[in-house]
């Protein structure tokens, strides 16, 4: 071959895995130094990362104080009036109650959406949460209350708390107000405020255990119980202080509280009184020390606060929120409803409380050392500890509560505490990195209506606090708070904290390795967990590798606030959630670096932003995103190119809060996925209307297949649901050996058919009447659709002139652009673009290699490029029973960003399964969202560059994809390479911006931003490896390889990818010189997935595979979103006949059992069971010969095994509990799937069982090895 | 001979011309460049074939002039050209580069490298011819 035709593939620098010949050179050379310990690297890198941020912050410091000072003054002014007004208390309490009342609805809303949440966050083992959710509604409100309560109870912990304390304290004297207020609260607790609080936690515990481990709550309880008694003394002391503040002097206090950043010492001094009273000596000292540090290191007041406290921040938030919440409570919970994350945050609150309480109480001892640490200026860790210590001490210092709390907290698991620490640590770091993370207010629309975007969680707290306030009669405070938060960004950090705790909670119930490691991402805290992800797994010994639940995406090892705001893994996923610092490190790791994108995914919540100026970096044009750094109020630093930009005036105003001067609270900065309504700057021409053209094959073959009737029915049915507005246009075009146009001009009595028989030089018979306005000509269109199937029923024309028909379609559409949908049933045999049958049926099962994977002609590709230029997308439905050269035909969709559907052996009578699938797909296809004239640009942090794109599109530039149409079901993959070292930043960001015209004629930009940590240790890279994403990316690469080179080459490359990984890991990381195949736990499924890949239709050899099916499988690999792809590659196998309710989900009154995943091996399948295999687009329900009669009767509705019909494609809706559970489980699996899957009931003795067993990828087949053989093969390869 | 020289010079220019577009494609200028890119690829398409033809013509000339050494030097490149053209992607028009795959970083990098190597080769051979030219015409 001389020079390698695809040299890139061989270049180590580009993608190491693919370098067949010298694959081990680098690996072996890899530094043994890294062996020293996997733990070693972690801490250093943490430290390294943090200071950088601190540095950035520092710059802010100078500016910040001034602003703060002003605000403080404002606050005071505000607070003063409010305080005087005693009557307001009643109103407040009332308003707060609405919130409480509102909470349930909010919960309900989210509850439905939860599944999506899970997926997106990826963390939590889904089952428990969902269980808990239903119960939530009542509690949700209580949870926040509790947190706030706890905070107040723990007041010792915080300056923030001090506020609360004061409030609380104050109430003590005025018991009467409390009582009066309390009734208004949903949870009508006994009058004493303290008791109320304590009660609430209890309720929570009892009602939904899943949320938090009981221990944590217990910890809280004691607090509450004690506080009532204990706090009063404090309070009483305080009262003297407090009352005054309320009127005049009190005002200064509040500002201080809300802005922790404010000169720490001074504030604390003021605040401390409450604490100092209890523990005079200790508290002030410790407090002050940490504060100073904060001030120095971190400019913004808020960030410092939450890091240390974990728990405390909520309290901060609360006040601020309360201020807002009380006034606009209704609005506040509006956004709660939309936001998925709200529930999390709530949980987190619960958590937060105990974290502060529990750990804090225990900490005191640790506190002293830590304080010493933090005295060294730079280190956040030190800071953390210091804070913790503070909190702890403070807790202790709140002497009364202290003792009680300490034991209680100790009762909770030590582990938990550790985790808390970790998370707190994470919180700190995170806070330091970016100050502007907040829970997602998902529906910006509603937000714009006037609700406050920033604070879902806070609002809850707010309600509580508000209540408390009102009860205490401290309403006066509220105005101050309101102002404070509004003006300040402080609230955001506190949110971060919230997020952290929630993670913990989720992770705890499910100690799955990956989940745990993902969940506990706090930088400093992680070591143990990362070690877990890195735990060497000897594949030859460990057989049970599958997690009990489908694998979730690993969470990047980011601080919690960043993680919380990060893009959903369903939308944006990276193969390495820890990006290696240099290409050399990447090569050493032997893993591909790439992104998997699903940019136009159907989102349930999406902030849509309308503004005149879309804020972007001036040099790299990056859209502003949550990961930028605000240097001060007027400048922000791009996180991709590091350029410092100005914040435009308009951006200073926040339409959501209607406040000025808080750019970091804008929804753009609060959400990693946002959508902008673009101005005319983003248009090359006026936005096009939605235009649909259907090109239908009506040759004899098509009539035989009988698709036409079903298609027309489906279009008729969905005619009103076609996405579009009043401008929507539609047209039809049919072809056999000639081309038929249909004049649907309004005013005609019936559609006119115009026949063009000159297929060598196609012309358009009439220019304005063929594509007609759907609204105006709806009757004609309906006429046509009803008559069309009959019109050609007698057709004897066997030829198909697809090429000319496409040319005609192109001419029809080129003035507007739009979507062309082609239905084809046979090989095109006439005119331009005619194809010959190239498949040799005898070669279908040959293992030598597959020919004709490349197109036979470039006609379709050129046509597609022309179409792409005119913004026309071509979608292909191939319903052929014969070979139709999909290889060539697919080009028309590949390069015009279309989608491809293939129904092999389609026949309306003989193949009901395909017919059903066809109908379902059509239903989805016709009504799904669509974007026109789209382009997508992917930007990434300086130093990273895009190597290759995978998917359906035309690449216009190195980072720009041209998408004539964009649909919500297609995904993209991107290979990345590291050009320059990323050493100067600790975060790598990727931003995908999709500019499209919506079906309503609006130009919109959807922006997704993903943020990942950069690491310089190989072990970290492995710990962050996302095995599913890697598998999918490798599959894409393998398909490219098989087309450009050969199939066997691609297969070898896949095997080598495994060999490379194992040997690289062995030589670089694993300190144990074990024999056998050792891989990190995060990659333990990798060989299995690769083996499954090799057995896929697209890449298998030896098994008879029709060329079209193979090519279609390849196309699917390129365009399917990751989740779907993984189910296709490695189906999920469940046993259904003995499902227990253990771990079942409770969703909307239905119980969804969660049977564990089974390995795809025949040894797991037994004759006496019923097994469900979820292959993504199809389910197989395999019924064993000796299957429980009851199952067959109750679920399938057949008396016994023998009477199960051979072609059963549905599960009857029976009233039996078993059937209900099975169907609930199936429905649950179908959720969030764009195209609903068909189900096949497969009897053990049916011929169809071979397809079922073909999916058992761990088993040996005639032509492919079993999993253990594969491992042995790998081992042999390694020893070579 | 003179004609040869001129041709070669022209060819070198062509060569560099042909390099530039792809180079520029590679630079990450966002907005302006992308529109031009397709055109550039087309330019490249047009330039490749003449290059191959001219090189082939040269080889024939060397063959006629019985310049065996020079011919030997050029034969590998000729063979490479033939191979490259035979293995081009499927397309109906003459050309070498597929606009849909040219942006693949591997292919782009390869094309670039190829361009530079050939430029070096042509430059060297140009001086070699010049030397031969001068050598012949000096008494």
Q: Are strands A1145-1147 and A1150-1152 parallel, antiparallel or unpaired?
A: antiparallel
Q: In angstroms, what separates the C-alpha of B133 from chain A's closest C-alpha? A: 33
Q: How many CB pairs under 8 A join A and B?
A: 81
Q: Are strands A608-610 and A673-677 parallel, antiparallel or unpaired?
A: parallel
What range does the domain containing A1149 cover?
A: 1131-1256
Same domain, A1187 and A1125: no
Chain A residues whose beta carbon lies within 8 Å of the beta carbon of residue B30? 621, 937, 957, 959-960
Domain boundaries, chain B: 1-137
Same domain, A1079 and A1173: no
Residue pair A573/A1029 in contact by the 8 Å Cβ criterion? yes
Neighbours of A334 (CB within 10 A): 23
Question: Confidence class of residue A1149 from pLDDT cuts 50, 70 and 90?
Answer: confident
Range scoring the smallest mean pLDDT among A676-685, A819-828, A932-941: A676-685
Interior/surface letters A36-64, b for 16+ CB within 10 angstroms, e for the rest: eebeebbeebbbebbbebbebbeebbeeb
Are the beta carbons of A858 and B87 separated by less than 8 Å?
A: no
* 3-state SS class at A512: coil
Q: Are strands A818-824 and A691-697 parallel, antiparallel or unpaired?
A: parallel
Q: What are phi and psi of A537, to 5 degrees?
A: -120, 120
- Comparing A1070 with A129, which gets the higher pLDDT? A1070
End-to-end CA distance of chain A, in Å?
A: 25
Locate B82 and state its tokens.
């033939």
Chain B residues whose beta carbon lies within 8 Å of the beta carbon of residue A958? 25-26, 28, 103, 105, 108
- Comparing B7 with A801, which gets the higher pLDDT? A801
pLDDT at A529: 54
Closest CA to A435 of A66, A54, A784, A78: A54
pLDDT at A681: 84
pLDDT at A862: 86
Are the beta carbons of A960 and B34 separated by less than 8 Å?
A: yes
pLDDT at A109: 34
pLDDT at A1264: 83
CA-based nearest residue in chain A for residue B104: A948
Chain A residues whose beta carbon lies within 8 Å of the beta carbon of residue B91? 858, 861-862
Q: What is the pLDDT of residues A613-633, one digit of tens each?
A: 888 999 889 999 999 988 888
Q: What is the DSSP string of A1217-1259?
A: HHHHHHHHHHHHHHTT-SSPPEEEEEETTSTTHHHHHHT-TTS
Q: Is residue A489 part of a domain?
A: no
Q: How far is CA A1048 from CA A744, A754, A853, A1045, A1166, in A?
A: 52, 50, 13, 9, 35
Output the furthest CA–CA distance in chain B (Å, rounded): 59
Structural domains of chain A, count: 3
End-to-end CA distance of chain B, in Å?
A: 16
**Per-residue pLDDT averaged across A515-543, rounded?**
57
Same domain, A1116 and A1170: no
pLDDT at A1205: 84
Domain boundary at A928, A960, A982, which? A928
pLDDT at B41: 55
Question: Confidence class of residue A517 from pLDDT cuts 50, 70 and 90?
Answer: very low
pLDDT at B5: 53
pLDDT at residue A903 greater than cutoff 90: yes
pLDDT at residue A531 greater than cutoff 70: no
Using left for φ > 0, alpha for ψ between -120 and 50, and beta otherwise, residue A567 falls in beta
Same domain, A1149 and A1244: yes
Same domain, A1225 and A1109: no
Same domain, A721 and A700: yes
High-pLDDT (> 70) share of chain A, %: 58
Closest CA to A137 of A99, A98, A111: A111
pLDDT at B90: 67
Same domain, A1121 and A1143: no
Q: Is residue A803 part of a domain?
A: yes
Q: Is residue A806 part of a domain?
A: yes
* Run of H or E including A40: helix A39-84
Q: What is the pLDDT of residues A393-413, one digit of tens each?
A: 333 333 333 333 333 333 333
Are the beta carbons of A947 and B106 separated by less than 8 Å?
A: yes
DSSP H helices, A719-777, are none
- Cβ–Cβ contact A3 with B under 8 A: yes
CA-based nearest residue in chain A for residue B38: A956
Question: Confidence class of residue A1010 from pLDDT cuts 50, 70 and 90?
Answer: very high
CA A377 from chain centre, in angstroms, equals 36
CA-based nearest residue in chain B for residue A1: B83
pLDDT at B19: 47
Q: Is residue A470 part of a domain?
A: no
Q: Is residue A586 part of a domain?
A: no
Residue pair A337/A441 in contact by the 8 Å Cβ criterion? no
CB within 8 Å of A685: residues ≥ 6 apart: none
- Cβ–Cβ contact A979 with B under 8 A: no
- Comparing A540 with A1174, which gets the higher pLDDT? A1174
Chain A residues whose beta carbon lies within 8 Å of the beta carbon of residue B107? 6, 8
The CATH number that applies at residue A1203 is 3.40.20.10
pLDDT at residue A155 greater than cutoff 60: no
pLDDT at residue A251 greater than cutoff 80: no
Residue pair A1208/A1195 in contact by the 8 Å Cβ criterion? no
- Cβ–Cβ contact A948 with B under 8 A: yes
Chain B residues whose beta carbon lies within 8 Å of the beta carbon of residue A947? 104-106
Domain boundary at A1099, A1130, A1161, which? A1130
Q: How far is CA A545 from CA A989, A1157, A1277, in A?
A: 32, 10, 22
Q: Is residue A11 part of a domain?
A: no
pLDDT at A427: 31
pLDDT at B47: 63
Question: Confidence class of residue A597 from pLDDT cuts 50, 70 and 90?
Answer: very high
User: Percent helix, strand, coil in chain B (nearest 5)?
Assistant: 80, 0, 20
Half-sphere exposure of A98 (CA within 13 A, CB side): 15
pLDDT at A530: 59
- Candidates B37, B38, B107; nearest CB to A8: B107
Q: How far apart are CA A139 and CA A569, in angstroms?
A: 29
- Provide the residue count of chain A: 1280
Residue pair A1222/A1192 in contact by the 8 Å Cβ criterion? no
Q: How far apart are CA A111 and CA A344, in angstroms?
A: 11
- Angle formed by the axes of helices A39-84 and A250-258, nearest 10°: 150
Q: How far apart are CA A786 and CA A789, in angstroms?
A: 7
Q: Is residue A1052 part of a domain?
A: yes
pLDDT at A1208: 82
pLDDT at A996: 94
- Comparing A1204 with A103, which gets the higher pLDDT? A1204
Q: What is the pLDDT of residues A109-126, one digit of tens each?
A: 333 333 333 333 333 333
Are the beta carbons of A6 and B106 separated by less than 8 Å?
A: yes
**Per-residue pLDDT averaged across A798-810, rounded?**
92
Q: What is the pLDDT of residues A37-95, one digit of tens each?
A: 333 222 223 233 333 333 333 333 333 333 333 333 333 333 333 333 333 333 333 33
pLDDT at A936: 93
Are the beta carbons of B92 and A855 separated by less than 8 Å?
A: no
Q: H helices then E strands: how many in chain B?
A: 4, 0
Those residues of chain B whose CB sits closer than 8 Å to some CB in chain A are 25-26, 28, 30, 33-34, 37-38, 79-80, 83, 87, 89-92, 98-100, 103-110, 113
Q: What is the pLDDT of residues A455-514, one digit of tens each?
A: 333 333 333 333 333 333 333 333 333 333 333 333 333 333 333 333 333 333 333 333
- Cβ–Cβ contact A865 with B under 8 A: yes
High-pLDDT (> 90) share of chain A, %: 22
Question: Confidence class of residue B92 from pLDDT cuts 50, 70 and 90?
Answer: low
Q: What is the DSSP string of A84-124?
A: H-STHHHHHHHHHHHHHHHHHHHHHHHHHHHHHHHHHH--S
pLDDT at B95: 63
Specify the long-range contacts of residues B131-134, CB closer than 8 Å, at least 24 apart: B132/B1, B132/B70, B133/B1, B133/B2, B133/B4, B133/B5
Q: Dihedral of CA A842/A843/A844/A845: which sign?
A: positive
The CATH number that applies at residue A1074 is 1.20.120.730
Same domain, A1090 and A1146: no
Tokens 């990098």 belong to B109
- Candidates B80, B92, B100; nearest CB to A857: B92
pLDDT at B72: 86
Average pLDDT value over all residues in chain A = 66
pLDDT at A680: 85
Q: How far apart are CA A397 and CA A1089, in angstroms?
A: 55
CA-based nearest residue in chain B for residue A854: B90
pLDDT at A1238: 84
Are the beta carbons of B30 and A957 separated by less than 8 Å?
A: yes
Q: Is residue A276 part of a domain?
A: no
Locate A652 and state its tokens.
């200073």
Tokens 């060539």 belong to A888
- Cβ–Cβ contact A956 with B under 8 A: yes
DSSP at A858: S
pLDDT at A972: 94
Are the beta carbons of B106 and A3 separated by less than 8 Å?
A: no
Q: What is the pLDDT of residues A177-205, one digit of tens each?
A: 333 333 333 343 333 333 333 333 334 33
Same domain, A1035 and A1094: yes
B56 by Cβ neighbours in 10 Å (0-12 / 13-18 / 19+) ranks as middle
- Cβ–Cβ contact A945 with B under 8 A: yes
* Run of H or E including A54: helix A39-84
Half-sphere exposure of A405 (CA within 13 A, CB side): 39
pLDDT at A289: 34
Same domain, A1203 and A1067: no
pLDDT at A183: 35
Q: In angstroms, what separates the C-alpha of A741 from chain B's closest C-alpha? A: 29
Q: Which candidate in A803, A835, A957, A1040 is best for mutational testing of the B interface (most B CBs within 10 A)?
A: A957
Question: Confidence class of residue A1230 from pLDDT cuts 50, 70 and 90?
Answer: confident
pLDDT at residue A263 greater than cutoff 80: no
Chain A residues whose beta carbon lies within 8 Å of the beta carbon of residue B118? none
pLDDT at A241: 34
Closest CA to A605 of A848, A339, A413, A373: A339
- Cβ–Cβ contact A684 with B under 8 A: no
CA-based nearest residue in chain A for residue B84: A5
Same domain, A1220 and A1175: yes
Same domain, A1109 and A1139: no
ipTM computed for the complex: 0.76
- Cβ–Cβ contact A145 with B under 8 A: no
Q: In angstroms, what separates the C-alpha of B32 from chain A's closest C-alpha? A: 10
Closest CA to A1234 of A923, A877, A918: A923
- In sequence order, the β-bridge partners of residue A996 are A1004
Are the beta carbons of B105 and A14 separated by less than 8 Å?
A: yes
pLDDT at residue A746 greater than cutoff 70: yes
Question: Confidence class of residue A925 from pLDDT cuts 50, 70 and 90?
Answer: very high
Specify the long-range contacts of residues A851-854, CB closer than 8 Å, at least 24 apart: A852/A887, A852/A1107, A853/A887, A853/A1042, A853/A1043, A853/A1047, A853/A1110, A853/A1111, A853/A1114, A854/A887, A854/A1043, A854/B89, A854/B90
**Per-residue pLDDT averaged across A623-648, rounded?**
89
Q: How far apart are CA A309 and CA A744, in angstroms?
A: 69
pLDDT at A824: 93
Are the beta carbons of A2 and B80 separated by less than 8 Å?
A: yes
Are the beta carbons of A858 and B89 separated by less than 8 Å?
A: yes
- Candidates B83, B91, B103; nearest CB to A858: B91
Q: What is the CA radius of gyration of chain A?
A: 32
């Amino acid at each position: 071959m001389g020079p390698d035709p695809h040299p890139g593939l061989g270049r180590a620098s580009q993608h190491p895995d693919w370098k067949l010949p010298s694959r081990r050179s680098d690996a072996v050379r890899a530094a043994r130094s890294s062996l020293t310990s996997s733990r070693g690297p972690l801490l250093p890198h943490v430290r390294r990362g943090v200071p950088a941020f601190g540095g950035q912050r520092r710059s802010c410091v100078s500016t910040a104080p001034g602003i703060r000072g002003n605000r403080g003054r404002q606050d005071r002014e505000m607070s003063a009036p409010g305080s005087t007004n005693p009557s307001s208390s009643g109103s407040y309490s009332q308003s707060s109650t609405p919130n409480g009342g509102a909470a349930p609805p909010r919960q309900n809303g989210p509850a439905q959406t939860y599944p999506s949440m899970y997926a997106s966050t990826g963390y939590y083992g889904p089952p428990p949460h969902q269980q808990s959710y239903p119960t939530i509604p009542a509690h949700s409100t209580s949870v926040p209350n509790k947190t706030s309560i706890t905070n107040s109870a723990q007041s010792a912990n915080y300056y923030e708390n001090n506020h609360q304390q004061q409030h609380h304290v104050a109430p003590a004297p005025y018991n009467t107000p409390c009582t009066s207020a309390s009734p208004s609260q949903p949870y009508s607790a006994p009058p004493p405020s303290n008791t109320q609080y304590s009660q609430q936690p209890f309720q929570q515990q009892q009602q939904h255990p899943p949320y938090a481990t009981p221990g944590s709550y217990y910890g809280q309880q004691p607090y509450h119980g004690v506080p009532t008694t204990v706090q009063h003394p404090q309070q009483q002391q305080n009262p003297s202080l407090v009352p005054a503040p309320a009127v005049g002097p009190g005002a200064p206090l509040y500002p201080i509280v809300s802005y922790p950043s404010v000169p720490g010492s001074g504030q604390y001094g003021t605040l401390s009184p409450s604490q100092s009273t209890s523990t005079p000596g200790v508290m002030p000292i410790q407090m002050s020390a940490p504060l100073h540090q904060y001030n120095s290191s971190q400019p913004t007041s808020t960030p410092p606060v939450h890091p240390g406290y974990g728990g405390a921040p909520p309290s901060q938030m609360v006040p601020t929120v309360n201020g807002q919440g009380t006034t606009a409570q209704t609005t506040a919970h509006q956004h709660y409803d939309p936001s998925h994350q709200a529930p999390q945050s709530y949980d987190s609150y619960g958590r937060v409380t105990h974290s502060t309480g529990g750990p804090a109480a225990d900490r005191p001892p640790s506190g002293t050392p830590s304080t010493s640490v933090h005295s060294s200026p730079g280190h956040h860790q030190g800071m953390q500890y210091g804070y913790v210590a503070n909190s702890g001490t403070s807790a202790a210092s709140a002497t009364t509560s202290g003792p009680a709390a300490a034991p209680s907290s100790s009762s909770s698991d030590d582990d938990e505490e550790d985790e808390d620490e970790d998370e707190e640590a994470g919180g700190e770091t995170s806070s330091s990195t970016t100050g502007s993370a907040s829970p997602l207010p998902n529906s910006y629309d509603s937000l714009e209506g006037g609700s406050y975007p920033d604070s879902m969680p806070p609002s809850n707290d707010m309600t509580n606090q508000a209540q408390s306030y009102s009860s205490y009669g401290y309403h006066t405070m509220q105005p101050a708070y309101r102002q404070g938060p509004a003006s300040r960004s402080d609230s955001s950090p506190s949110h971060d904290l919230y997020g952290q705790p929630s993670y913990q909670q989720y992770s705890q119930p499910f100690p799955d390795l990956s989940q745990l490691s993902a969940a506990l991402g706090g930088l400093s805290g992680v070591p143990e967990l990362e070690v877990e992800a890195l735990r060497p797994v000897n594949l030859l010994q460990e057989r049970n590798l599958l997690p009990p639940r489908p694998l979730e995406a690993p969470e990047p090892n980011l601080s919690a606030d960043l993680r919380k705001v990060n893009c959903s893994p369903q939308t944006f996923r990276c193969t390495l959630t820890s990006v290696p610092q240099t290409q050399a490190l990447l090569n050493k790791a032997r893993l591909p670096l790439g992104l998997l994108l699903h940019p136009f995914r159907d989102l349930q919540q999406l902030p849509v932003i309308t503004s005149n100026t879309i804020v972007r970096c001036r040099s790299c044009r990056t859209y502003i995103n949550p990961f930028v750094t605000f240097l001060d109020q007027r400048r922000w630093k791009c996180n991709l190119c590091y350029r410092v930009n100005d914040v435009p005036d308009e951006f200073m105003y926040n339409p959501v809060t209607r406040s000025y001067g808080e750019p970091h609270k804008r929804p753009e900065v609060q959400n990693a996925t946002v959508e902008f309504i673009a101005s005319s700057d983003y248009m090359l021409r006026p936005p096009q209307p939605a235009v649909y053209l259907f090109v239908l094959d009506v040759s004899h073959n098509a009539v035989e297949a009988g698709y036409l009737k079903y298609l027309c029915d489906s279009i008729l049915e969905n005619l009103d649901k076609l996405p579009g507005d009043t401008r929507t246009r539609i047209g039809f075009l049919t072809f056999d050996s000639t081309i038929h146009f249909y004049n649907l001009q309004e005013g005609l009595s019936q559609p006119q058919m115009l026949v063009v028989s000159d297929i060598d030089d196609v012309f358009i018979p009439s220019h304005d009447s063929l594509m007609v306005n759907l609204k105006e000509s709806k009757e004609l269109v309906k006429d046509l659709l009803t008559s069309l199937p009959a019109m050609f029923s007698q057709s004897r024309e066997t030829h198909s002139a697809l090429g000319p028909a496409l040319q005609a379609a192109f001419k029809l559409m080129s003035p507007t652009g739009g979507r062309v949908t082609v239905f084809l049933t046979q090989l095109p045999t006439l005119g331009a673009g005619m194809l010959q049958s190239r498949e040799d049926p005898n070669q279908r099962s040959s293992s030598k290699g597959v020919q004709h994977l490349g197109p036979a002609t470039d006609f379709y590709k050129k046509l597609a490029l022309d179409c792409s230029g005119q913004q026309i997308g071509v979608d292909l439905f191939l319903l052929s029973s014969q070979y139709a050269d999909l290889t060539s035909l697919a080009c028309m969709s590949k390069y015009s960003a279309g989608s491809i559907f293939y129904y092999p052996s389609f026949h309306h009578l003989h193949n009901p399964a395909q017919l059903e699938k066809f109908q379902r797909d059509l239903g989805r296809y016709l009504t799904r969202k669509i974007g026109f004239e789209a382009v997508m640009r992917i930007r990434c942090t300086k130093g990273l560059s895009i190597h290759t794109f995978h998917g359906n599109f035309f690449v216009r530039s190195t980072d720009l994809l041209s998408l004539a149409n964009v649909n919500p079901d297609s995904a993209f993959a991107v290979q990345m390479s590291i050009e320059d070292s990323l050493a100067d930043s600790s975060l790598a960001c990727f931003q995908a911006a999709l500019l499209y015209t919506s079906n309503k004629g609006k130009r919109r930009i959807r922006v997704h931003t993903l943020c990942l940590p950069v690491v310089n240790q190989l072990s970290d890279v492995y710990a962050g490896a996302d095995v599913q994403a890697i598998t999918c990316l490798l599959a894409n690469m393998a398909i490219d390889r098989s087309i450009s080179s050969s199939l066997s080459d691609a297969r070898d490359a896949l095997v080598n990818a495994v060999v490379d990984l194992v040997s690289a890991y062995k030589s670089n990381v694993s300190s144990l010189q074990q024999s056998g195949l050792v891989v990190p736990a995060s990659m333990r499924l990798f060989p299995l997935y690769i083996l499954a890949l090799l057995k896929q239709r697209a890449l298998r050899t030896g098994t008879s595979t029709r060329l079209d099916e193979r090519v279609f499988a390849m196309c699917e690999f390129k365009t399917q979103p990751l989740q779907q792809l993984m189910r296709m590659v490695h189906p999920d196998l469940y046993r259904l006949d003995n499902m227990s309710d253990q771990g079942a989900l409770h969703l909307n009154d239905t119980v969804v059992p969660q049977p564990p995943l089974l390995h795809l091996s025949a040894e797991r399948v037994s004759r006496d069971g019923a097994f469900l295999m979820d292959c993504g687009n199809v389910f197989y329900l395999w019924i064993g010969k000796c299957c429980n009669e009851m199952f067959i009767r109750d679920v399938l509705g057949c008396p016994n095994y023998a009477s199960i019909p051979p072609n059963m494609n549905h599960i009857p809706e029976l009233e039996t509990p078993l059937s209900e559970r099975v169907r609930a489980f199936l429905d649950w699996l179908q959720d969030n799937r764009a195209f609903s899957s068909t189900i096949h009931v497969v009897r053990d003795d049916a011929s169809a069982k071979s397809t079922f067993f073909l999916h058992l990828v761990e088993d040996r087949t005639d032509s492919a090895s079993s999993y253990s053989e594969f491992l042995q093969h790998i081992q042999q390869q390694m020893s070579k | 001979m003179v004609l040869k020289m001129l041709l070669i010079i022209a060819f070198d220019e062509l060569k560099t011309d042909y390099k530039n577009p792809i180079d520029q494609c590679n630079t990450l200028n966002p907005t302006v460049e992308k529109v031009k890119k397709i055109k550039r690829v087309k330019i490249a398409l047009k330039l490749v074939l003449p290059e191959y033809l001219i090189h082939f013509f040269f080889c024939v000339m060397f063959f006629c002039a019985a310049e065996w050494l020079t011919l030997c030097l050029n034969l590998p490149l000729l063979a490479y050209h033939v191979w490259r053209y035979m293995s081009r992607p499927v397309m109906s028009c003459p050309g070498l580069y597929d606009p849909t795959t040219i942006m693949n970083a591997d292919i782009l990098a390869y094309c670039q490298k190829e361009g530079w190597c050939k430029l070096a080769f042509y430059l060297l051979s140009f001086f070699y011819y010049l030397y031969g030219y001068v050598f012949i015409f000096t008494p």
